[in-house]
Amino acid sequence: MKTLHVDLGTRSYPIHIGTGLLDDSELIRPHIQGQEVMVVTNETIAPLYLERTLALLDGYDVATVILPDGEQYKTLDTLNLVFDALLEKHFTRRCTLIALGGGVIGDITGYAAASYQRGVNFIQIPTTLLAQVDSSVGGKTGVNHALGKNMIGAFHQPQCVIADTETLNTLDDRQLSAGLAEIIKYGLINDADFFEWLEQNMPSLLSRDPDALAYAIERSCHDKAEIVAADERESGVRALLNLGHTFGHAIETGTGYGNWLHGEAVGCGMWMAAELSHQHGWFTQTELDRTRDIIEKAKLPIQPPTSMNSDQFLDIMAVDKKNLEKKIRLILMKGIGKSFISDDFDNTLLKELLEKNIAQAKQE
């Protein structure tokens, strides 16, 4: 087992990464302050891991909420189901919520914990690759709104994160690839060495080699934790973690939540960010080719949805959280591992890029 620490003063917490951690109750019990524990999970994960999780919690006053599975359920209405359960059980401010599942479960549970009685503790047990490398780390919680993804939420740090890599064995291939998108992202943002390692080891990751996966998860969490520690509430450098996400969120919102997986949308978004960077002369043809290559090798889509047009993209991108005063801001790149935030790009090029990519998608 490896343990990383996210360094946030009084809100610091450990991330444990390893195999079989779901059988080790000593990892979780020190982080539960009272007697009341609510496990929040979904219909897919409950039959697989709920029983083992409950076995960790012997002796506590434990309740469970099982939510429907999918990004389309990351809403205020689903959030309210968690509040219903907490209030029906008369749970107090000293209760602890446990998020057992992927990114959607983590985001909803974290936001429920931020909001219930104005704030209670929570613990993340991420069971997808995407949640293990991204959404369970950093304290961003929230739900979607029909007009924009993750538009309602809170910064609320967990007490600890327990990433058991064995849970990835039950992940379907599409979910595995979605997680790889966020892993590739860390290479592109500021870790060129990791990007090279990924170029060499993508086949091992796709065949679920445990050592390769453990290394990729650890390095991703390390890279993310460093950025989060420097800028917890995203007033600066943390925005870099949004590489590919402005395009990606537009795809998720525009096609209807739940049709594209978050990681798939981010994969396509990173490609468009790379291409836009190339068109401005900031990103070489070789770097562009390497980016396309690794996204395709991870079995992620390059092409945007044919159901969308460029105006729809731009409309949704105009409500992104990074934007200031109505100007779209994007994470672009001046090389692999050299990302930066910019609202100083050519809007005409952006529109043409969207149109070209959508047209190409339609041809195929």
Could you give the residue numbers annotated as active site? Answer: 118, 140, 182, 224, 234, 238, 242, 245, 249, 262
Q: Tokens 């190339």 label which residue?
A: 278
Binding mask 228-247 for a copy of itself (x = CB under 8 A): -----xx-------------
Part in contact with a copy of itself (CB under 8 A); list of ranges 16-24, 80-88, 100-108, 188-196: 80-88
Q: Measure the CA–CA gap between 57 and 254, rounded to whole angstroms.
A: 41
Q: Smallest distance, Å, CB 75 to a copy of itself? A: 10
- Is 47 or 236 the residue whose CB approaches a copy of itself more closely? 236
Asked if 118 interacts with a copy of itself (CB under 8 A), we say: yes
Q: Smallest distance, Å, CB 131 to a copy of itself? A: 19
Q: Smallest distance, Å, CB 318 to a copy of itself? A: 5
Question: Which pair of tokens denotes residue 354?
Answer: 């969207």
Part in contact with a copy of itself (CB under 8 A); list of ranges 33-41, 44-52, 175-183, 213-221: 33-41
Alpha-carbon dihedral angle through residues 282, 287, 288, 292, given to the nearest 10 degrees: -150
SS3 279: helix
Q: Measure the CA–CA gap between 271 and 298, rounded to whole angstroms.
A: 13
Q: What is the size of the binding site for a copy of itself (CB under 8 A)? A: 39
Q: Is the dihedral of CA 214, 216, 221, 223 positive or negative?
A: positive
| Residue (of 80, 55, 52, 54) closest to 67 by Cα position | 80
Helix (H) or strand (E) holding 247, with range, is: helix 245-255
Q: Smallest distance, Å, CB 323 to a copy of itself? A: 5
SS3 252: helix
Asked if 349 interacts with a copy of itself (CB under 8 A), we say: no
Could you say which residues in the range 87-106 bind a copy of itself, by CB under 8 A?
87-88, 90, 92-94
- Is 151 or 206 the residue whose CB approaches a copy of itself more closely? 151
Asked if 29 interacts with a copy of itself (CB under 8 A), we say: no
Distances (CA, A) of 212 to 187, 204, 207, 235, 291: 15, 6, 10, 33, 20
Q: Measure the CA–CA gap between 156 and 182, rounded to whole angstroms.
A: 21
Query: Angle 5-6-12 (CA atoms, 0-180°, nearest 5)?
Result: 100
- Is 145 or 334 the residue whose CB approaches a copy of itself more closely? 145
- Which residue of 48, 63, 154, 341 would you call a contact of a copy of itself, by CB under 8 A? 154
| Residue (of 50, 20, 56) closest to 165 by Cα position | 20
Q: Smallest distance, Å, CB 139 to a copy of itself? A: 10
Could you say which residues in the range 124-143 bind a copy of itself, by CB under 8 A?
140, 142
Q: Measure the CA–CA gap between 170 and 177, rounded to whole angstroms.
A: 13
Q: Measure the CA–CA gap between 119 and 51, rounded to whole angstroms.
A: 27
Part in contact with a copy of itself (CB under 8 A); list of ranges 16-24, 158-166, 214-222, 318-326: 318-326
Q: Smallest distance, Å, CB 120 to a copy of itself? A: 10
Q: How many residues are there in the chain?
A: 364
Q: Rule CB under 8 A: which residues touch a copy of itself? A: 34-36, 76, 79-80, 83-84, 87-88, 90, 92-94, 114-119, 140, 142, 145, 147-148, 151-155, 233-234, 318-319, 321, 323-326
